[in-house]
Structure 1
Amino acid sequence: MTSTIPKAELHLHLEGAMTPALVRRFAKRNGLTLPDDIYDDQDRYLWDDFPEFLNSFDKASAAIRTKQDYADLTSSYLIEQAKVGTLYAEIFCSPTHAANCGLSFDDHLEAVVEGIDRAEKESGIIGRIIMTCVRHVGPDIAIKVARETVACGHPYIVGFGMGGNESMFTQEDFYPAFKIARDAGLGCTTHAGEVEGPQSVWDAIEKLPVTRIGHGVRSIEDPKLVETLAKREIVLEVCPGSNIALSVFPDYASHPLRKFYEAGVKVTLGSDDPPFFFTSLADEYQRAEELFGFSPAELTGITRTAIEAAFVDEDTKARLIAKL
């Protein structure tokens, strides 16, 4: 039973964790009228393809307006994860999205920290932050985000990453931002090999100081790349439910999670934007068992990989590993 297996998550976008119920709650609290076409009467977000998903994500995110909203979103997500045995979660936080909601870098950070503390106090789960830049917004804003991230020096910020539209700019365009973060001791990860093919992963691992890749699943199309990922011990943050929802692969039978594992590539399981992709971290672990044939021992090993690859400090890491 996967419900008893300890879990850890390295790939979760904070705004993407917002359920339709929270969208309604925040909209009501903030006196907003929601568009009719965000979700259906079964609370399933409405979208058909990647651009429509991004549009749906933005419409839902627009309900967030205050520090309280961000704090409540963070704590509610983490507390729910603790109920299914999650020990640790790294959350992608986007100061760019927060700015669109009218919040400063500091207000956004304080709110997420408050949510992390509330969840740990209530459930024992440990949450940490990966500050992210948005690729399609461009390299200049990425440098600004990196500088603010490093300047604030908050101990809960353990990493720097990049999401957004993979077809815009190159990974190398963002090297200056990643260098600022890496030089300050932050771990680095970037999205690649999801919408774009293996070359996007090569670009990331050759041009940026990353030890992890968000998704990276299309690396499977290049055997040399798979070999390189295994040799360099670069960790893939794999989100099968998201990949299927976005038609990166037509079905679970063609998803390469098991192939990566058997090729010696370090993999972890993440839920990405769970309510948008009709999934959850618990679902990802369950599918890994039922559809990909992972044993409970192997799944616990995947959790161990996630904790070892986490950007959190060594003391916390040791405490978490002891719980396995």
Structure 2
Amino acid sequence: MPADLTDYVVPDVPKAELHVHLEGTARPDLIRRLAARNKVAIPDGTFEDEDTFRWRDFLDFLNTYDLAASVIRTAADYRDVVYEYLVACAAEGTRYVELISSPDHARAVGLTEAEHRAGIFQGIDDARAQTGIEGRILVSIVRNFGVEAAERTAQEAADNPHEYVVGFNMAGDEAGFPPPDFTRAFAIAHDAGLGCTCHAGEHAGPESVRAALQLPGVVRLSHGVRAIEDPDLVRELAERQIVLEVCPTSNVALGVYATYADHPLPALMAAGVPVTLASDDPPYFGATIGGEYGVARAHFGLDDEQLVAITATALGAAFVDDQTRAALLNGLHNRPLGL
């Protein structure tokens, strides 16, 4: 596990995040508060200690994630999860966040999608009112929940458009459930006008990246870093300007790379592949989005100008409406000293 990212100085530059799992933003103290409010027991095996989630490897992490998410039961719970995360991001100078939302997790605790969305949207509104931060949602399917569930979730998103629901993603057990089976789900989302991204090149190699790029509408990749193992693929990513949502601390914590020194983000940048920075599931890995910018400075040698360029890449690749994007980019390039 990497050092707690509170050890890193958060660079005084504006930030944006395109890859963070909504339920995975809830810190242990919030999970405890929600469980108490809902009068439910926290499942055994969720915590290592008062401030730490318990997990050993990637598949065990997925299980712990599901255990913790099981206490998020109501629209008010989802409001609090979203609101607390966005406010914390804003305190680190973050201006825009895309949260990966899993209707299947809400459905598993008995929430309708209307109730689920109502809580999320309230959290976005309340955080914006307090801090000015913009939040949007990517609807996510979970590979290991099956093809039928994936297509149902995609159709539900297509049938219920909303200005805050801007994209579509696929997460879960990447190595065990390759992309081709989910082609129809992505076609439904793409045809509905949702921006498409997909987890690949994390716990499976370059072949998973190539397969994800065959899915309808995919123009970004969640992680994608193991493309570095295939020079031809790296060149293709650079030529097509496929944006990678890179999560360095998650990659080190989960053993994709042994250390930050082994991480390919600098090599991908040098090859012309556009990258962004993201925290993935921050409390599970001791991360924050500000901390990821700090890691990029401390371990990859990026200066403020390069970090701002990464933020600009994120805003350019965001699945947000053009008017909001223009305002965010204008604020980025015409900011006062500091933020």
TM-score (norm 2): 0.93
1:170-209 alignment to 2 at 5 Å? 170-209=178-217
1:124-273 alignment to 2 at 5 Å? 124-273=132-281
Local SS of the residue matching 1:276 = helix
1:27 aligns with 2:30: no
- In the other structure, the counterpart of 1:62 is 70
Contact 1:72/1:115, CA 8 A, preserved across alignment: yes
Local SS of the residue matching 1:99 = helix
CA–CA separation in structure 1 for the residues paired with 2:140 and 2:299: 32
Local SS of the residue matching 2:280 = coil
Local SS of the residue matching 1:64 = coil
The Cα shift of 1:41 comes to: 3.4
1:317 aligns with 2:313: no
1:303 aligns with 2:308: no
One-letter amino acid of the counterpart of residue 55, structure 1:
N
One-letter amino acid of the counterpart of residue 66, structure 2:
D
Contact 2:70/2:105, CA 8 A, preserved across alignment: no
Once superposed, what is the RMSD of the aligned Cα atoms?
1.1
Alpha-carbon spacing, 1:42–1:3, altered in 2? closer, same or farther (3 Å)? farther
CA–CA separation in structure 1 for the residues paired with 2:247 and 2:81: 21
Report which structure shows greater RCO (CA 8 Å, sep ≥6).
2
Local SS of the residue matching 1:275 = helix
- In the other structure, the counterpart of 1:101 is 109
Local SS of the residue matching 1:175 = helix
C-alpha distance after superposition, 1:132-186 (max 9, x if no partner)? 1111112221111111101111111001111011123331211111111111111
Contact 1:171/1:208, CA 8 A, preserved across alignment: no
C-alpha distance after superposition, 1:34-61 (max 9, x if no partner)? 2453223350111111122112111111
CA–CA separation in structure 2 for the residues paired with 1:110 and 1:153: 13
CA–CA separation in structure 1 for the residues paired with 2:217 and 2:61: 29
C-alpha distance after superposition, 1:265-307 (max 9, x if no partner)? 0000010000011111111000100100001000000000000
One-letter amino acid of the counterpart of residue 53, structure 2:
Y
Local SS of the residue matching 2:49 = coil
Contact 1:95/1:108, CA 8 A, preserved across alignment: yes
One-letter amino acid of the counterpart of residue 82, structure 1:
A
Q: Alignment identity in percent?
A: 49
Contact 2:25/2:282, CA 8 A, preserved across alignment: yes
One-letter amino acid of the counterpart of residue 177, structure 1:
A
Local SS of the residue matching 1:40 = strand
The Cα shift of 1:257 comes to: 0.6
Local SS of the residue matching 2:285 = coil
CA–CA separation in structure 2 for the residues paired with 1:227 and 1:164: 27
Contact 1:2/1:296, CA 8 A, preserved across alignment: no
Alpha-carbon spacing, 1:148–1:207, altered in 2? closer, same or farther (3 Å)? closer
One-letter amino acid of the counterpart of residue 202, structure 1:
R
Local SS of the residue matching 2:16 = strand
Tell me the number of residue pairs that the alignment of Structure 1 and Structure 2 aligns: 324
Local SS of the residue matching 1:190 = strand
Alpha-carbon spacing, 1:38–1:207, altered in 2? closer, same or farther (3 Å)? closer
Local SS of the residue matching 1:3 = coil
The Cα shift of 1:88 comes to: 0.2
C-alpha distance after superposition, 1:81-116 (max 9, x if no partner)? 000000000000000011112111111111100100
Alpha-carbon spacing, 1:41–1:168, altered in 2? closer, same or farther (3 Å)? closer
What 5-or-longer segments of structure 2 have no aligned partner? 1-8, 333-339
- In the other structure, the counterpart of 1:281 is 289
Contact 2:14/2:308, CA 8 A, preserved across alignment: yes
1:46 aligns with 2:54: yes
- In the other structure, the counterpart of 1:293 is 301
Equivalent residue for 1:15, pick from 23, 29, 41: 23
Deviates more, 1:160-169 or 1:77-86: 160-169
CA–CA separation in structure 2 for the residues paired with 1:162 and 1:206: 14
